[in-house]
A and B are shown apart, each in its own frame.
Chain A
Amino acid sequence: MELTRYVSIGQYLPRDSVVHRLDPRTKIGVTTLLMVVIFVITDFTGYGLLAASLVGLFLLAQIPLGYAARGLRPILFLLLLTFVLNLFFSGLREGTPLVRLGPLVITSEALSRAAFISLRLVLLVVATSLFTYTTSPMALTDGMERLLRPFRRIGVPGHELAMMMSIALRFIPTLLEETERIMKAQMARGAEFQRGNLLRRARAMLPILVPLFVSAFRRADELALAMEARAYRGGEGRTRMKELAFAARDAVAWIVSVFATAVLLASRWLGLP
């Protein structure tokens, strides 16, 4: 039982690649464009091209392709469900029947639809995981804060949101360590967590949750005090040690992705080939 060591926070894989060095804002932007593209494409050829370019990006980022597959593990069930539901209840009335299972009919159109929707999910996850693999949590919050800055006028507390996010990230390992320690302390007093029915197990969590909450509140208090002691008063007029700055590679990334998206949208709505 070594909780801390089994849970990795985020999925950041530090490498020295061009993709890693891109400005986080660029990566947020490009990832958003990728999502749009994924939803705009409606044929397998498009997805084939997209998949190929994603593979290229993974190679460029020096992330083993196995990691792309690993990112799919948590959504395996969702993927299966989506596939099955689309297969049987696609809502397509017409079609060439392939298999008949009692009242259920699988048409080739439904099969192709199910495959397509599943592929869409896979691509979405793979595209976003490329982003999380190559962007450290800190870079991510920095990028978010900077992107939200223009919205401050309409009351979006960008700095505060980013600060909360980085504090939350910072404390995940601490809280995990604490959970482990408290669990062991209660086990030393004869507690068991894997025994009995669901209700008993839920009750058995109480001796862990109460101390955990108490200490989380205490930590929050102490952190707030420590921040105030160093005259923290929000993002107003605050300077940063590492200023985000766009480089030539960011320009390249933006131009390529905006151009590709534009071409795609144009071909979709203007009926170009």
Chain B
Amino acid sequence: MSKQANPEYAAKDPENRLLWRVPYTRLSVEAIRDSILAVSGRLNPALYGPSMLPEIPAAALEGSSDPDKIWKASEEDEQSRRTVYVLLKRSMVVPMLEVLDLCDTARSAAKRMTTSVAPQALTLYNGGFVNKQARYFAWRLVNEAGRDPARQIERAFRLALARPPTDAERDALLQFLQEESLEQMARVIFNLNEFVYPD
């Protein structure tokens, strides 16, 4: 079976009730965050040790009963470890994890739910984490592909999507880079459907 569309089957069973294809599944938030770090080049692969506390927006702390003490972010190198090392605190779940469908941490869960709601888009497009990693990704592209935009785009697709861009995609990105920065292109790539729903 494959994830590719089969028009004949799609017409008969658009909801895939009979499982004629492998269902598309969004990456879990842990995998999304880890992938962003891996692609930006900042992933710290250190194993073991205590949990780390990623930076969270100050605004998120206002809802807690003890905003000054409840969350002291770790050093950035620690924060760049895999998401499995994020401290899970019942009274203060990291907003990025919570928004992107982390399960209820207070009880067992048979499965993760996948939702597609606007606060997730706000987190991934406007949030501090993604925008910071987009900057690192842009630096990486310059380091590894030099100053030629076409080579930067090629490298970006290889790193983020594990495939070369199509001609149409390359053209769209080249046009974008005429007006916007590499960092902004990196930000868009982290938000692509294909990035979180890999083939």
The answer to whether A and B interact is no
Binding site for A on B (CB under 8 A): none
